[in-house]
Amino acid sequence: MEKNGYKPGAITCRTILNGLCKIGQTSMAIRLLRKMEEGNFELGLTAYSTIIDSLCKDRLVTEALNLLSEMMSKGIQPNAVTYNSLIQGLCNFSRWREATTLLNEMEQRKIVPCVRAFSILVDAYCKEGMLIKAKEAFNVMIERGIRPNTIAYNSLIDGYCLQSKMDDAVKTFNTMDERGFSPDVFSYNILINGFCKNKRIDEARSLFDEMSTKGVALDVVTYNTLIGGFCRVERPRAALDLLHKMQACGQLPDPQTYAILLDGLCKNKKIGDAMALFQEMKDKKLDHNIVFYNILIDSMCNAGKLATAREIFSGLFAKGLQPDVRTYTIMIKGFCKEGLIDEASELLEKMDGNHFSPDDRTYI
Question: Which tens digits make up the pLDDT trace of 15-47?
Answer: 888 899 999 899 999 999 898 888 878 788 999
Structural domain boundaries, residue 20: 1-78
3-state SS string for 123-180:
HHHHHCCCHHHHHHHHHHHHHCCCCCCHHHHHHHHHHHHHCCCHHHHHHHHHHHHHCC
Contact indicator for 323, 355 with CB cutoff of 8 Å:
no
Same domain, 127 and 96: yes
Contact indicator for 239, 231 with CB cutoff of 8 Å:
yes
User: What is the average pLDDT across 1-15?
Assistant: 62
Cβ count near 41 (within 10 Å):
17
∠ CA(161), CA(95), CA(71), 5° rounding?
135
354 pLDDT above the threshold of 70: no
Same domain, 133 and 68: no
∠ CA(292), CA(294), CA(296), 5° rounding?
70
Task: Answer with the one of 141, 156, 181 that is the final residue of a domain.
Answer: 181
Question: Residues with Cβ < 8 Å from 135, sequence gap 6 or more?
Answer: 156
User: What is the average pLDDT across 315-338?
Assistant: 92
Same domain, 136 and 160: yes
User: What is the average pLDDT across 112-139?
Assistant: 93
* Residue 84, CB-side half-sphere exposure with 13 Å CA sphere: 13
Same domain, 68 and 118: no
pLDDT for position 5: 40
% of residues, the chain, pLDDT over 70: 94
Cβ count near 87 (within 10 Å):
29
pLDDT for position 263: 96
Q: What is the DSSP letter of 21?
A: H
Same domain, 106 and 174: yes
- When divided into structural domains, the chain yields a total of 4
Same domain, 68 and 100: no
The residue ranking higher by pLDDT, 202 or 42, is 202
Question: Residues with Cβ < 8 Å from 186, sequence gap 6 or more?
Answer: 150, 154
User: What is the average pLDDT across 317-323?
Assistant: 91
269/312 Cα distance (integer angstroms): 18
Contact indicator for 96, 125 with CB cutoff of 8 Å:
yes
4 pLDDT above the threshold of 70: no
User: What is the average pLDDT across 87-92?
Assistant: 94
